Chains A and B, each alone.
Chain A
């Protein structure tokens, strides 16, 4: 545990010692703010129409019309920012030779992998924490339900963890961080769009593709529903990616 935390702390310090943390947090804050403003104007317009009796909906729900789409938009931000977080985790250590320090220290591979995952997760959580400010405004000037907000964040954390664990695995495959970043981005994108074709396929394929899509599982979370089905998907996705990472590091030892 202490070993894992040592690695996590080192990773986190590494993020903040380089521009990565600031770029990731800064740009995601800007993008989130932009999405927020857009959705807020849209929501405002809808609310006016509802209140003004121009034949719009009788009432608009801030959770459904603003917060849920906002959370779904975050997945776009993750697509671009999380490869930056994970691309150097292993690649950089391999390139600079510091991996020799880690692998010859009294640490297990699992402790190293978990430490790195945790480090990335904390950075990601910091990135999400910035968005709490926007939510605070909604709570201050409106009265959204808090449950969908909490489950939405839970969903985002889980979805981000999937991306992080997958990125970690990809980073463990190469010593070139640009290659790692590019592949990670491509694979994230694939998992994001994998079900776009599903409307043109048979029902079985459609179900499979929808199940595979990382973002598809976020929907229920943003509506305040924590379905075991999605939890199982996310948790097993994370566990499997981390397992692959451990195996990849181990196989690296054999191949030299």
Chain B
């Protein structure tokens, strides 16, 4: 549904987006994860036809955004970081205006606006001026504006930024509801959001794609395997390392820290294989003291940090 190939965007000497490629399948919810200034907004602006790419191309719903912008834009709904509301218009007038410029046929405009207002739960403020709405309502009117013309693709830039926890949950719920009919790209720098709402994640940092995968796979991929932390009291750490490495299923053992006779080891094992029992007995059999044995899990937060800092280190 969305195909991005070698997208690069430069502003003068600065490169905001650098050779970004990814695809999004129909009905998928793709999360765009990255710190502020990573190039998320720029990528989305290119995808929506707000600005042209310096290099590369983006195809949305079968139309190249540079070659056939009008056709592509008909199939995109976009919620920018700040909802593009006209403060002097009422919510209904605003949505009627948007439905008109988005090409909703005249006959079905009023009905469509009502339907979308119900769905995004803004019907109760239909006659209020957009400028007088609370942040939560503004965001929902912004979302309503994006889905009015029933686009194939929804692009949402930080849809939950600045909302209170209750509003965040409501907005996520809405996004999930829309996920069935629309292909969605949403950007965020809030990590739990990605695992909760997205099928797949693109991690972007300094304009580059660092990783593209499902949230689960990402976790596994960064770990590469299962990792255990083992703390052992033994006279010679080298012996422990050899003993641990000898356990079947263990791929790698590294010394993490030492405090006198006590040493901590990180033990990697084949993915999906639980080697805790074997590790424990390997230590106990030698008569060493097993002080600690726990799996090392990386939260998305850590993955994110890991991936983005790793990328910088490569540069």
A pairs with B: yes
Bound Cα distance from A123 to B17, whole angstroms: 43
Bound Cα distance from A92 to B203, whole angstroms: 34
Q: Which of A6, A7, A105, A253 contacts B73 (CB 8 A)?
A: A105
Q: Give the shortest distance, in Å, between B270 (CB) and chain A (any CB).
A: 48
Bound Cα distance from A160 to B102, whole angstroms: 31
Residues of chain A within 8 A (CB-CB) of B101 are 3, 6-7, 102, 105-107
Q: Are B86 and A104 in contact (CB under 8 A)?
A: no
At the interface, yes or no: B187 with Cβ under 8 Å from chain A? Answer: no
Q: Give the shortest distance, in Å, between B164 (CB) and chain A (any CB).
A: 22
Over the window 154-168 of chain B, the binary record of Cβ atoms lying under 8 Å from chain A Cβ atoms (1 yes, 0 no) is 000000000000000
In the complex formed, the residue of A with least CB distance to B75 is A106
Q: Are B100 and A6 in contact (CB under 8 A)?
A: yes
Q: Which of A7, A17, A100, A106 contacts B84 (CB 8 A)?
A: A100
| Known contacts A14-B86, A17-B89, A97-B82; is-contact A104 B52 (Cβ 8 Å) | no
Over the window 104-115 of chain A, the binary record of Cβ atoms lying under 8 Å from chain B Cβ atoms (1 yes, 0 no) is 111110000000
At the interface, yes or no: B97 with Cβ under 8 Å from chain A? Answer: yes
Q: Are B73 and A104 in contact (CB under 8 A)?
A: yes
Residues of chain A within 8 A (CB-CB) of B93 are 13
Q: Give the shortest distance, in Å, between B255 (CB) and chain A (any CB).
A: 49
The interface residues of chain A, by DSSP majority, are classed as helix
Q: Are B78 and A106 in contact (CB under 8 A)?
A: no
Residues of chain A within 8 A (CB-CB) of B97 are 6, 9-10
At the interface, yes or no: B205 with Cβ under 8 Å from chain A? Answer: no
Count of chain A residues near B, Cβ 8 A:
27
Residues of chain A within 8 A (CB-CB) of B139 are none
Q: Are B51 and A256 in contact (CB under 8 A)?
A: yes
Q: Are A106 and B103 in contact (CB under 8 A)?
A: yes
Bound Cα distance from A256 to B51, whole angstroms: 7
Q: Are A108 and B70 in contact (CB under 8 A)?
A: yes
B70-98 contacts to A (CB < 8 Å): 70-71, 73-74, 76, 78, 80-82, 84-89, 93, 97-98
At the interface, yes or no: A208 with Cβ under 8 Å from chain B? Answer: no
Bound Cα distance from A2 to B106, whole angstroms: 10
Bound Cα distance from A88 to B76, whole angstroms: 28
B85-134 contacts to A (CB < 8 Å): 85-89, 93, 97-98, 100-103
Q: Are B88 and A254 in contact (CB under 8 A)?
A: no
Bound Cα distance from A255 to B101, whole angstroms: 25
Residues of chain A within 8 A (CB-CB) of B85 are 96, 98
Q: Are A101 and B87 in contact (CB under 8 A)?
A: no
Residues of chain B within 8 A (CB-CB) of A103 are 49-50
Q: Are B50 and A253 in contact (CB under 8 A)?
A: yes
Q: Are A104 and B48 in contact (CB under 8 A)?
A: yes
Bound Cα distance from A100 to B71, whole angstroms: 17
At the interface, yes or no: A143 with Cβ under 8 Å from chain B? Answer: no
Q: Are A13 and B89 in contact (CB under 8 A)?
A: yes
B13-55 contacts to A (CB < 8 Å): 16, 42, 45, 48-52
Bound Cα distance from A103 to B65, whole angstroms: 12
At the interface, yes or no: B145 with Cβ under 8 Å from chain A? Answer: yes
Bound Cα distance from A255 to B10, whole angstroms: 9
Bound Cα distance from A101 to B49, whole angstroms: 11
At the interface, yes or no: A18 with Cβ under 8 Å from chain B? Answer: yes
Pick from B11, B82, B102 the residue with the most CB of A within 10 Å: B102
Bound Cα distance from A122 to B239, whole angstroms: 89
Bound Cα distance from A98 to B141, whole angstroms: 13
Q: Which of B42, B71, B84 contacts A101 (CB 8 A)?
A: B84
Bound Cα distance from A253 to B11, whole angstroms: 11
Residues of chain B within 8 A (CB-CB) of A17 are 88-89
Q: Are A98 and B86 in contact (CB under 8 A)?
A: yes
In the complex formed, the residue of A with least CB distance to B100 is A6
Q: Are A14 and B103 in contact (CB under 8 A)?
A: no
In the complex formed, the residue of A with least CB distance to B76 is A104
In the complex formed, the residue of B with least CB distance to A101 is B84
In the complex formed, the residue of B with least CB distance to A250 is B52
Q: Give the shortest distance, in Å, between A58 (CB) and chain B (any CB).
A: 57
Residues of chain A within 8 A (CB-CB) of B98 are 101, 105
Bound Cα distance from A247 to B85, whole angstroms: 25
A74-113 contacts to B (CB < 8 Å): 96-108
In the complex formed, the residue of A with least CB distance to B70 is A106
| Known contacts A103-B49, A106-B74, A106-B102; is-contact A256 B84 (Cβ 8 Å) | no
In the complex formed, the residue of A with least CB distance to B99 is A6
Q: Given A2-B100, A6-B100, A10-B86, 20 other A-B contacts at CB below 8 A?
A: A6-B97, A6-B101, A17-B88, A97-B80, A97-B84, A100-B50, A100-B84, A101-B80, A103-B50, A104-B50, A105-B73, A105-B98, A105-B101, A106-B70, A106-B101, A106-B102, A106-B103, A253-B50, A255-B11, A256-B11
A and B contact pairs by CB, cutoff 8 A, 10 listed: A13-B93, A18-B88, A96-B84, A97-B80, A100-B50, A101-B98, A105-B73, A106-B74, A106-B101, A256-B51
